[in-house]
Amino acid sequence: MSKKRRLSTNVAGDFYVNSACIGCGVCRQLTPDVFSMVDGLFAVTQQPKEEWEKRNVFHALLSCPTAAINSADKNGLTEVMHDFPLLIEKDVYYCGFTSGKSYGGHSYFIKHPEGNWLIDASRFVPLLAKRLEELGGVDIIFLTHNDDQEFLDADLYAKRFGAKRIIHMKDKVPELDAEHLVEEIHSMNWSEDFRIVVVPGHTEGHMVLLYKKKYLFSGDHLYWDSMKNSLSAPEGFYCFYSWSEQMNSMKSLMKESFEWVLPRHGERIQLAPKVRKEAMKRLIRHMEDTI
């Protein structure tokens, strides 16, 4: 195996990105002031100055799926590991510790009085599992979709907590165990706070989870692209099933109410309802133009 080397695109300083970078963007999601894309990969383009900035960069280091972020100064790193899962807002958390099996796919945790939810799964890390246990454990694992082997870490969390897994039957494969198979082709209310919206396109059985009509766990259906300053959807090679179906699903999703877009891949964002609707309209026009 070739030795990881420091990329020349990094500025001088303790923190840097090495040649294991795959350009997934997890680092920029967590620390946009420090990391930027340069020549198709990410680099440290501004060294952290304050202690809180350094802590955020450590979050990115720990969350990188390929260990592509390094620091000459690791003082405090062990303590920072205990920050996860990171609070996004109220009872919604970001799990970090992304996996190379999912190309750095994001995972989220919801602490709920009727049972806690894990949306997709991070790399299985015993410390993260311990922290989730301290928050009450995991009762349900919602799998937005399955493309390749992304479910393998979900299996480990399911075994660790005895959690029930939900996936759409169209994305079920023999080696993927799931206690709840969604067969519907339309949206359904799971409970008062949770709504499942079926959005075929990226995969045939793709689903998104709407929580409290505010938080949309969008899988690989919808994400924020800060470089384009717009909502986007995976297209071309990254639309594995049907672009036209994904467009129709996006139109259906327009009818739902939400502010937060919390994707599996891509950047998360909170948008005011009117701003979000206009952004989705622009995205749908783009999708119509590229059918």
User: Nearest Cα to 149, choosing from 90, 103, 117?
Assistant: 103
Same domain, 233 and 106: yes
Domain membership flag for residue 276: yes
What is the residue-averaged pLDDT of the chain? Answer: 96
More confident residue, 3 or 162: 162
> Once rounded to an integer, what is the mean pLDDT over residues 70-91?
96
Residue 138 located in a structural domain: yes
Looking at per-residue pLDDT, the higher value among 276 and 151 belongs to 276
Say if residue 179 is in the same domain as residue 283. yes
pLDDT digits (tens, 9 = 90+) for 20-32: 999 999 999 999 9
Out of 72-76, 132-136, 160-164, least confident range: 72-76
Compute the distance between CA of residue 240 and CA of residue 263 in angstroms, rounded to an integer: 17
User: Based on the domain organization, do 189 and 248 belong to the same domain?
Assistant: yes
Q: Are both 101 and 147 inside the same structural domain?
A: yes
Do 167 and 274 reside in the same domain of the chain? yes
More confident residue, 216 or 147: 216
The residue-averaged pLDDT of 216-235 equals 97
Domain of 43: which CATH number?
3.30.70.20
Q: Same domain for 163 and 256?
A: yes
Above 60 in pLDDT, residue 286?
yes
Give pTM, 2 decimals: 0.96
Burial tier of 225 (Cβ tally within 10 Å: 0-12, 13-18, 19+)? middle
Which pLDDT belongs to residue 174? 81
pLDDT of residue 77: 95
Q: For the chain, give the number of residues.
A: 291
20, 49 Cβ separation under 8 angstroms:
no
Same domain, 230 and 105: yes
pLDDT for 272 equals 97
The verdict on 92 and 66 lying in the same domain is no
Q: Is residue 243 part of a domain?
A: yes
Mean pLDDT for 217-230 is 96
pLDDT in tens, 89-135: 999 999 999 999 899 999 999 999 999 999 999 999 999 999 999 99
The answer to whether residue 8 is domain-embedded is no
3-state SS, residue 50: coil
Q: Is residue 9 a part of any domain in this protein? A: no
Query: Are 51 and 119 contained in the same domain?
Result: no
> Looking at residue 173, what is its pLDDT?
86
Final residue of a domain: which of 25, 47, 70? 70
111 and 58 share one domain: no
**Gap between the Cα atoms of 183 and 17, Å rounded:** 43
Q: What is the mean pLDDT of residues 139-157?
A: 90
Q: What integer pLDDT is reported at residue 1 of this predicted model? A: 45
| 139 and 37 in a common domain | no
Q: Domain range spanning residue 36?
A: 15-70
Q: How confident is the model at residue 2 (pLDDT cuts 50, 70, 90)?
A: low
Domain of residue 282, CATH code: 3.60.15.10
Q: What pLDDT score was predicted for residue 240?
A: 95
**How confident is the model over 69-82, as a mean pLDDT?**
95
pLDDT at 215 over 60: yes
- The tally of domains found in the chain comes to 2
Instruction: Tell me the percentage of the chain whose pLDDT exceeds 90.
Output: 92
Other beta carbons within 10 angstroms of residue 210's beta carbon come to: 22
Q: Is the pLDDT of residue 56 over 50?
A: yes
Same domain, 42 and 111: no
